[in-house]
Amino acid sequence: MKVYFCGSIRGGRDDAAVYRRIVEKLKGYGTVLTEHVTCAKLTCTGEVSEGGDRQIHDRDVSWLQEADVVVAEVSLPSLGVGYELGRAVHMKKRVLCLFRPSSGRRLSAMIRGADDGERFLVRDYSEQEVESVLEEFFSKI
Ligand SMILES: O=c1[nH]c(=O)n([C@H]2C[C@H](O)[C@@H](COP(=O)(O)O)O2)cc1CO
């Protein structure tokens, strides 16, 4: 199974440690195409790419196309993650969005409201629940 993980980069890196914890668990289910999102050294300026932002965009869209499932941590708002989720819906991918209410934020209606109880799921969780939430999700697919 190929998993596309989405997490904020230029939107802010405060949750990088949570992304790492999610991806460590995801690696038990298959290949994570976007492990770089969890890199502690990656700052909010983003990746350094010879081909610039176009190359990052095109590579990520092609990974999205390859992916069997998309898992997004959406507690920290990110334009890139929102864009990836929109593209994933268009590609009819199975999507799990993870939101921590402890962030004190209110999730965008365009994400929470996209939950259809089937292909696109939004799950509120606390950091201690990361592993069990993912186990539950992957046991059903
Ligand atoms: O350098 C990058 N590399 C990269 O893969 N992305 C992708 C993966 C992330 O899930 C998402 C983050 O978007 P943003 O940078 O707008 O927070 O976009 C985004 C950037 C920088 O925007």
> What is the 13 CA–ligand 1 centroid distance (Å)?
11
The residue ranges of the chain whose pLDDT is under 70 are: none
Kindly report, residue by residue over 83-95, the tens digit of the pLDDT: 999 999 999 999 9
> What is the 9 CA–ligand 1 centroid distance (Å)?
5
Measuring from atom 2 of ligand 1, which residue has the nearest CA? 46
Cβ pair 46, 9 in contact under 8 A: yes
Q: Which positions make up the binding site? A: 4-10, 19, 84, 108-110
User: What's the distance, Cα to Cα, between the start and end of the chain in Å?
Assistant: 11
Residue 133 neighbours by CB distance under 10 Å: 17
* pLDDT for the residue numbered 49: 93
Pairing mode, if any, of strands 120-124 and 2-6?
A: unpaired
Cβ pair 74, 19 in contact under 8 A: no
Tell me which of 3, 10, 42, 59 to substitute to probe ligand 1's pocket, judged by most ligand atoms within 8 Å of the beta carbon.
10
Angle at CA of residue 132, ends 128 and 135, nearest 5°:
150
DSSP-based three-state secondary structure for 117: coil
**Rounded to 5 degrees, what are φ and ψ at 5?**
-100, 130
> What is the 14 CA–ligand 1 centroid distance (Å)?
14
DSSP state of 100: -
* pLDDT for the residue numbered 34: 98
> What is the 32 CA–ligand 1 centroid distance (Å)?
15
Give the count of alpha carbons within 13 A of 133, CB side only.
Answer: 21
Kindly provide the ipTM of the predicted complex, given to two decimals: 0.99
* pLDDT for the residue numbered 97: 99
Measuring from atom 21 of ligand 1, which residue has the nearest CA? 46
Residues 6 or more apart whose Cβ sits within 8 Å of residue 135: none
